[in-house]
Amino acid sequence: MNATSSLAPTDPEFDYIIVGAGSAGCVLANRLSANGKHSVLLLEAGPKDSNIWIHVPLGYGKLFKEKSVNWMYQTEPEPELKGRQVFQPRGKTLGGSSSINGLLYVRGQHEDYDRWRQLGNTGWGYDDVLPYFKRAENQSRGADQYHGTGGPLPVSNMIVTDPLSKAFIDAAVESGLPYNPDFNGATQEGVGLFQTTTRNGRRASTSVAYLGPAKSRSNLKIETSAHAQRILFEGRRAVGVEYRQGAALRRARARREVVVSSGAYNSPQLLQLSGVGPGDLLRKHGIEVVLDAAGVGHDLQDHMQVRIVMRCSQKITLNDTINHPLRRTMAGARYALFRKGWLTIAAGTAG
Ligand SMILES: Cc1cc2nc3c(=O)[nH]c(=O)nc-3n(C[C@H](O)[C@H](O)[C@H](O)COP(=O)(O)OP(=O)(O)OC[C@H]3O[C@@H](n4cnc5c(N)ncnc54)[C@H](O)[C@@H]3O)c2cc1C
């Protein structure tokens, strides 16, 4: 395949083309179009985020294997797991994975950012990124050294007070772990309740938080069901994108930049399909090499998740509610009327 530009003078032109309207893409679409001076095209392979379960926090469970909004990847057989393949959900809709994720607001450890800086990534130490976290945030507990208010991303306490979560925290503290009221504060270590990216019991994806306020801007064009096939190059310069939308193969030109925000799996895939990646691999598949970059598509790190199932001696669990027709109906009505109750919970309550 030839990735060099086959753009025609009639192809539409934008200052920026953003490929992928996920966590990163929606933020960039908002920020790059904010001053009104630049035209921005945002391409999203998935549909609009109109599935109602996207907006109900408990809907997380429904979307985990919902192929209309989820790429539903499977890893290759993993040698370290005796050849097991692991299911890898990824969002495929406006908001991307922030529309299907577990809603837990956890920035990560200070030390991890500092290590990135030590490795030579200037600007990525914890002190460097903290002002941006604060600026993004609308923290329901108010502003402090680690938190901001007035930003686009709402961060809220859990609405449900759940006796099992409290028992879990108490047990952990009894066994010697420190209680931590804020996993995004001075340290991540310890046990406590999570905060969530929600507002009034509804999911605040980046589509809601960032694209919502921007989508009526005349300089921002959003195309859904628009699957980028390759970045177009003139020499080493990215000048456009070719994308499939329904039966049509379309092209658009970028005057300034093509931003690849297609997620941890699809970004390297798109780069490789466009000729940026390990040269030998690309040639094997008949792709013309624009840049021989061995690292593209390598060194992915992810966290393992192990599910532990316990029997509870009292009928106080979420399962007791959703498996009981009357209690389930009441929980649905409570959510519809007051945005409270079990439907407001995220993928986890305490950690
Ligand atoms: C099930 C699940 C639970 C999670 N739980 C949590 C949690 O509780 N807390 C937390 O902090 N993080 C959680 N995460 C992780 C977090 O959601 C992701 O790290 C984050 O959303 C990644 O953002 P991104 O912008 O890199 O990619 P994404 O948000 O995945 O966005 C990529 C977008 O690009 C689109 N795209 C891909 N390829 C193309 C193409 N060729 N053309 C056009 N569009 C394309 C995709 O459809 C998608 O919309 C979870 C993730 C998942 C999947």
C-beta separation of 18 from 32 below 8 A: yes
**What count of other Cβ atoms lies within 10 Å of the Cβ of residue 324?**
13
What angle is formed at CA 337 by the lines to CA 336 and CA 342, rounded to 5 degrees?
60
Report the nearest atom of ligand 1 relative to the CA of 64: 1
Report the nearest atom of ligand 1 relative to the CA of 270: 41
pLDDT for the residue 6: 77
Query: Ligand 1 centroid vs 103 CA: distance in angstroms?
Result: 12
Residue with the smallest CA separation from ligand 1 atom 37 is 262
Query: Ligand 1 centroid vs 323 CA: distance in angstroms?
Result: 30
Which 3 state secondary structure label does DSSP give 42? strand
The pLDDT tens digits for 38-95 are: 999 999 999 999 999 999 999 999 999 999 999 999 999 999 999 999 999 999 999 9
CA 351 – CA 345 distance, rounded (Å): 14
pLDDT for the residue 205: 98
Q: Which residues of the chain have pLDDT under 70?
A: 1-5
Question: Token match 């393949």: residue?
Answer: 85
CA 84 – CA 80 distance, rounded (Å): 8
Query: Ligand 1 centroid vs 300 CA: distance in angstroms?
Result: 14
- Give residue 80's Cα distance to chain centre: 26
- Which token pair is 335? 């959510």
- Using CB distances shorter than 6 Å, the residues near ligand 1 are 19-25, 43-46, 64, 89-92, 96-98, 100-104, 106, 227-228, 261-264, 266, 270, 347
pLDDT for the residue 3: 53
Query: Ligand 1 centroid vs 23 CA: distance in angstroms?
Result: 6
Q: 344, 259, 265: which is closest to 55 by C-alpha?
A: 344
pLDDT for the residue 286: 97
Report the nearest atom of ligand 1 relative to the CA of 23: 25
Query: Ligand 1 centroid vs 73 CA: distance in angstroms?
Result: 12
CA distances from 97 to 63, 207, 255, 345 (A): 10, 10, 28, 17
pLDDT for the residue 4: 60
Query: Ligand 1 centroid vs 98 CA: distance in angstroms?
Result: 6
What angle is formed at CA 142 by the lines to CA 21 and CA 144, rounded to 5 degrees?
95
The pLDDT tens digits for 181-195 are: 999 999 999 999 999
CA distances from 76 to 81, 83, 230, 279, 306 (A): 11, 8, 24, 22, 19
